[in-house]
Amino acid sequence: MANKNEAKKPNIFVRMGRKLKETFSELKRVTWPTFPKVLKSTGTVLLVVLVFLVVLTLINQGLQALLELLTSIGA
C-alpha cells in the first residue's frame, strides 16, 4: 500500500498554478498570423457568408413564390 502523503494530490492552487504556467508556455510557442493574412482570411469568411446569404435568400424567395402559387390554385 502506498504512503498516504505520496498518493495525496497537491492543493487546488498548486494545480491551477501549474496549469496556468503550462498554458502560457504553450502560448509562447504559437505562431500568430500576420495582419495581411488575418485580413485575407476575414475577407474570405465574409465572402463565403455573403454567398450563402444570397443562395438561401433565393431559395426562400422561390419557396415563398411556390407556396403562393399553390395556395392561389387551391382557393
Domain count, the chain: 1
Whole-number pLDDT of residue 10: 81
Report yes or no: 64 and 72 within 8 Å, Cβ to Cβ. Answer: no
Write out the residue range of the structural domain in which residue 36 sits: 4-74
Element (DSSP H or E) covering residue 54? helix 35-74
The tens digit of pLDDT for each residue in 49-64 reads 999 999 999 999 999 9
- pLDDT < 50 regions, the chain: 1
Instruction: Give the residue carrying C-alpha cell 450563402.
Output: 52
